[in-house]
Structure 1
Amino acid sequence: MGIKQDWSQATPYLGFCVFTFCWANVIFGLDTSTFGSLQALPSWLGQFGTDGKLTTLQKAIANSVVYVGRLAGTLSFEPIAERFGYKILLAAIAAVQVVSVAIQLGSGNFNTFIAGRTVSYIAVGWIDGTIASYASEVAPAALRGFFSGLLAPMANLASVWGAGMCQHYATETRKVGWMVPISVQLIPVVMIAVCWPFAAESPRWLVAHGKSDQALKALRKLRRKEHDDAGMCEAELDAISYAIEYDRTHATARWRDLVSKVAYKQFIYTILFFFFYPSTGNAFYNAYGATFFKSIGLGNKSFTYAILCQLMGMVGGLTGLFLTDRVGRRPLLIAGSALLILFDGLAAGLASKPTRSSTENNVIVACWTLMLWSAKLSWATHAYIVVPEMGGIRMRRKLVMVGTTVDVVGNWLWGFASPYIQVHNATKGPKIGYLFAGFAGMALLFAIFAAPELKGRSLEEVDEMFSKFRWGWEYKKYVTIGVGATVAQMERAPHVEDTDAKDDDEKQIVPASSVRVAAV
């Protein structure tokens, strides 16, 4: 289908629901960029630092301990989402963030402030899984990449916002210099509270919990009126219900199934997606971006450059978002990985020179900016698009939980270890970029040979596609024949009618009554 036909499946209410959940990721984006810059702000260092600066140990603790909270969130996401649903989890995210901000604003020492951020990261752990899983379940197959991938650009937009606030307070020494950026993190909480009552629960979750009437009501609001009038909502729901019931009869989605003959490929790919996401430079920049710019002599311009980097990251995320359903997942992963090798290596080579001209400093900043653009174009966006897709209907939440746990561990390792890695001659200071370039090279090989292409596929098709090993380029042409193919047909049905038909009676639409027969 063309882009016009793809977007003809979208509705304002679908956009409203997904954006309501995406406000949660604004919380994460604000926290990440704000704290990355706070560590270079005189107002925050004066109150929480040691003699106006952070020791190596404090840097390591500040950028790693919070991941204990995030790990708790990722490990508890799947059972909470399974039992209570996505809407209840979104409300819990907002409540936890209120507690976190209150602790941070009331803190009088370094340890209490970090404890407040750790509480916030429990919510971040939930956010990681909630948004991508919810969006992948409510969006039609042709638009799943766009809506699932909104997570990254929303975080980038918030990062620009947070970096901009910190730039404004770059020379402020009073408490207001750090308290305002922290207080602003309550704005997305207010937006969630306003929108939450009107958002729909996932129809797939409702069906799985015996609430088919509510699921049909939600699906009718999420799909276009023409889709509903043609009977496609009932047909789609019937196919989803059959797929869930079939799965319950023939498979149990146990944790040990992740390493079974059927699902081990998705399990390994999930680990790799979320390993490459932080390990190609993204995690280091989030933790030490402004501090790094200061360390190479850029002074207060560091905050301006931090805004520029986050802005380009947002552009990269949006670029990936709009292209992923047009060109596919694989081309963007391959192109992004190749660019990461270039920009990570070039930045490391120039920044490690003992003396540099202003032009060389500008090139270093440009490399970091383009590195972030490349990361958001590829792994940062597609980890949250492809992994929920790879899980299909049976293993989706478990794979997301595994992936976000790997992401947490990776970010924790980079946050804690980076100050110590940079002490050694081989990776001293900016030379750490060579390490990121090496991981980007590994990411490129994985993207070329193994990364699956799932553009336009229904969630129910995926298990069949992973039934045996395939090279990355083989997924695109694979034709499914089971229940997944039926669900995909239902999601697209009003848009694959005979365009030459002269009236409604001539249009060939699959009736709901035939769905189960076709699925079998």
Structure 2
Amino acid sequence: MASEKLAMAEHVEKHDSITPEAEGHALPGHSDLKTSTEAHAAIENEHNMTPWQALKLYPKAVGWSLLLSCAIIMEGYDVVLIGSFFGFPAFNEKYGGLMSDGSYGLAAKWQAALTNSMSCGQIIGLFINGIVSERYGYRKTLMACLASTVAFIFILFFAPNVQTLVVGELLMGIPLGVYQTLTVTYASEVCPVALRAYLTTYVNLCWVFGQLIASGVLKGLADRTDEWAYRIPFSIQWVWPIPIFIGVYLAPESPWWLVRQDRREDAVKAVRRLTRADIQGFNPEETVSMIIYTNALEKRVQTGSSYLDCFKGTDLRRTEIACCVWAVQSLCGAGLMGYSTVFYQRAGLAISQSFTMSLAQYAIGVVGTVSSWVMMTYFGRRTLYVSGLVMLAVVLFVIGFVSIAPATSAISWATGSMLLVYTFVYDSTIGPVCFSLVSEMPSSRLRIKTVVLARNLYNVLNLVTGIIIPYMLNVDAWNWRGKSGFFWGALCVSCLVWSFFRLPEPKGRSYAELDVLFENKVRTRHFPAAKTGLVQDELKGEGSA
């Protein structure tokens, strides 16, 4: 049966087979025939596995993935914390100055500096992560970052001036950058195909949880006028690192990383720790053989493991897709969501009430992320992503046209309310689906580095948006306010055009199948129906002909 599957793979899209057995390419570990047979059996099992069956088989993997993904809560918390502090009286009196409208606030340049210093730190952390995690493993890298996070929070907590805050945010961004890639990569590598989309998009839910917690904390402290109004929110960040550190210490390493280190037996042990031992018909050896098979397949097509290899051959297309998918998150106007508090304050709401509305906004984000799991099950990633961009563009243009009217309390209310609609659409489509796509598009040997490049492109774009959005909204700068919707709406349409023509659908595909599809240069619109020759359902009829 295995030989028939390999023979049929040669007919995929009229290209030669790229299976590693072709042309005598050796597979590491067991004998070539045994490894190949076990690999195809594992691919077949994953292809036919339902989400419920996968959940019963991989409950431990789900638990470890959920725990490690909680590190992202810290990023979502810190991002909202800094953005919301711009509308926080006690913070503005300590670190800002008197504005032209008689209120205290930070100048646009310092708002941009605080926002962008974290992005700069994340860029540094991401590039370090791409090298260090591949050498020392995901667990050790994550534990080192959690320990450094505890130290960097001290700088933010005791910052005497805005300059020190900028330095603290820069350093804090380094471990946060590592969390961005390691958590989603770990989630994508410890779970089967049937659970991959849910566990990778859970990362977005953790990000929203961080936003929700930050908004709740700020609402509770909005009426305070002393230094603890902003020091308590900083100190709460010490809550996460220690329990997550303990969890990471106890968690198994990614079997994919262990295979890349030629540690087959350790990979088998890791798979056993990720699955239930009492499920009949499951063989950890087969799963590891599938990983070895995929790794050898990528070696067969000369997939390297350096940053430069991300831009060679078929990996160039995969890198483009991953990078652009994450860039869209920045280009579609998502940065405006962090400023809804400002719009509500301009509408005449009290400080506490404006934070209540922000709290509702992030609660809507939680509902949106959960609803994306249901929609992805039926519609897939591509459909949800493209349709999400259509709806976001409409919302942004509505915000723009509403703002043409003279500035009044009603206009600010309308703008802030449309941002609530924007949040729901974003967190049920673009936000969570992005995390699934960027982890599925790269080859396994280049996954961590491709995700690093994608996230760093996102961070670079955030540097730009972090500069221009404060100027768009600041009363002493451009003062565009709601008219910013026209600018971001136009960019959103551009993102929609790219996504329609370049974004493929990876739903239900194992990593080995995706390797075959990309190597055979399958067109975007043909991805859902294209045959790879790696699963039995595709060979029915052909094998008997």
- Same-fold call, TM cutoff 0.5: yes
CA contact (8 A) 1:316 1:374 kept: yes
| Alignment correspondent of 2:38 | none
Quick check: 1:31 aligned with 2:82?
no
Q: In structure 2, list runs of 5 or more residues that go unmatched.
A: 1-47, 99-103, 539-545
For 1:296 and 1:268, how far apart are their aligned partners in 2? 42
Which amino acid counterpart does residue 214 of structure 1 have in structure 2? D
How does the TM-score come out when normalised to structure 2? 0.83
Contact 1:69/1:118 (8 A) holds in 2: yes
The alignment's C-alpha RMSD in Å is 2.4
Distance 1:244 1:115, change over 3 A: same
Paired residues of 1:277 and 1:379 also in contact (CA < 8 A): yes
Deviations 1:336-366 (A, max 9, x none): 11110121111222234224464x5443222
Q: Does 1:453 align with 2:505?
A: yes
Contact 1:36 1:290 in 2 (8 A): no
The one of the two structures with greater contact order (alpha-carbon pairs below 8 A, sep at least 6) is 2
Distance 2:466 2:216 in 1: 23
Q: Is the 8 A contact 2:305 2:446 kept in 1?
A: yes
Corresponding residue of 1:177: 229
Give the secondary-structure state (helix, strand or coil) at the position aligned to 1:262: helix
Q: Does 1:153 align with 2:220?
A: no
Instruction: Provide the C-alpha distance between the structure 2 equivalents of 1:443 and 1:321, rounded to a whole number of angstroms.
Output: 23
Deviations 1:414-449 (A, max 9, x none): 111223345899982221111111122122223333
Following the alignment from structure 1 to structure 2, what is the Cα–Cα distance between the partners of residues 297 and 83? 54
1:390 aligns with 2:441: yes
Matches within 5 A, 1:505-520: none
Cα offset, 1:101, TM superposition = 1.0
Is residue 327 of structure 2 the alignment partner of residue 268 of structure 1?
no
What does residue 141 of structure 2 align with?
A: 89
1:366 aligned residue:
417
Task: Specify the alignment match of 1:380 in structure 2.
Answer: 431
AA paired with 2:186?
Y
> Which residue pairs with 2:265 in the alignment?
213
Q: Deviations over 1:93-134 (max 9, x none)?
A: 211211121111111111111211211110111011101111
SS at match of 1:150: helix
- Partner of 2:240, secondary structure, is helix
User: Judging changes above 3 Å, is the alpha-carbon distance between structure 1 residues 234 and 477 closer, same or farther for their aligned structure 2 residues?
Assistant: same
2 CA distance for matches of 1:10 and 1:354?
60
Distance 1:461 1:427, change over 3 A: farther
Does residue 167 in structure 1 map to residue 222 in structure 2?
no
Give the length in aligned residue pairs: 483
Gaps of 5+ in 1: 490-520
Do structure 1's residue 47 and structure 2's residue 94 form an aligned pair? Answer: yes
In 2: Cα distance, 1:425 partner to 1:107 partner: 27
Is 1:194 the counterpart of 2:259? The answer is: no
1:94–1:322: structure 2 CA closer, same or farther, 3 Å change rule?
Answer: farther
Deviation by residue 1:11-45 (Cα, 9 ceiling, x = unmatched): 33112210221121011111111222112111211
Distance 1:439 1:306, change over 3 A: same
Shift of 1:282: 1.3
How far apart, in 1, do the equivalents of 2:434 and 2:60 lie? Answer: 26
Which residue matches 2:193? 141
Contact 2:49 2:194 in 1 (8 A): no
Partner deviation per Cα, 1:464-514 (whole Å, 9 max, x = no partner): 1112444433211112125xx59x99xxxxxxxxxxxxxxxxxxxxxxxxx
Distance 1:66 1:8, change over 3 A: closer
Alpha-carbon contact 1:20-1:199 (below 8 Å) kept: no
215 and 23 in structure 1: CA distance in 2 versus 1, 3 angstrom threshold: same
CA distance in 2, matches of 1:302, 1:231: 53
Letter matched to residue 274 of structure 2? L
Aligned equivalent of 1:314, options 344, 347, 366: 366
Q: Secondary structure at the match of 2:116?
A: coil
1:500: which partner in 2? none
Partner of 1:494: none
- Please give the alpha-carbon distance, in whole angstroms, between the structure 2 residues aligned to 1:432 and 1:299: 24
Q: Does residue 291 in structure 1 map to residue 338 in structure 2? A: no
Quote how far apart the aligned CAs of 1:6 are: 4.8
Matches within 5 A, 1:406-485: 406-421=457-472, 428-481=480-533
- Distance in 1, matches of 2:278 and 2:531, equals 27
Task: Report sequence identity in percent.
Answer: 22
SS of residue in 2 equivalent to 1:210: coil
Confirm whether residue 12 of structure 1 aligns to residue 55 of structure 2: no
Residue aligned with 1:477, SS: coil
1:468 and 1:50, CA in 2 relative to 1: closer, same or farther beyond 3 A? farther
Question: Which letter does structure 1 place at the counterpart of 2:170?
Answer: T
User: What TM-score do you get using the length of structure 1 for normalisation?
Assistant: 0.87
Superposed displacement of residue 158, structure 1: 1.6
1:475–1:57: structure 2 CA closer, same or farther, 3 Å change rule? same
- Listed as ranges, the matches of 1:200-349 within 5 Å are 200-227=252-279, 229-248=280-299, 250-251=301-302, 252-286=304-338, 288-300=339-351, 301-349=353-401
Rounded Cα–Cα distance in structure 2 between residues aligned with 1:61 and 1:263: 35
The 3 A distance-change label for structure 1 pair 24 and 54 is same
Whether the 8 Å contact between 1:392 and 1:461 is mirrored in structure 2 is no
Shift, 1:155, TM fit: 0.9
Q: Deviations over 1:258-290 (max 9, x none)?
A: 33331221122122212110121212323x342
| Cα distance change on mapping 1:2 and 1:336 into 2, 3 Å | farther
For 1:456, what is the secondary structure of its paired residue? coil
Look up the equivalent residue of 2:425 and give its one-letter code: S
- Which amino acid is 1:144 matched to? R
Letter in 1 for 2:84: S
Does the 8 Å CA contact 1:60/1:415 hold for their aligned counterparts?
yes
Kindly indicate whether the alpha-carbon contact (under 8 Å) linking 1:41 and 1:171 is maintained by their aligned counterparts in 2.
no
The residue that corresponds to 1:121 in the other structure is 173
The answer to whether the 8 A contact 2:92-2:106 is kept is: yes
Secondary structure at the aligned position of 2:314 is classed as coil
Q: 1:161: Cα distance to partner? A: 0.9
Partners of 1:437 and 1:425 in 2: CA distance: 21
Cα distance in 2 for residues equivalent to 1:253 and 1:94 = 26
Partner of 1:403: 454
Structure 1 residue 211: deviation in Å? 2.2
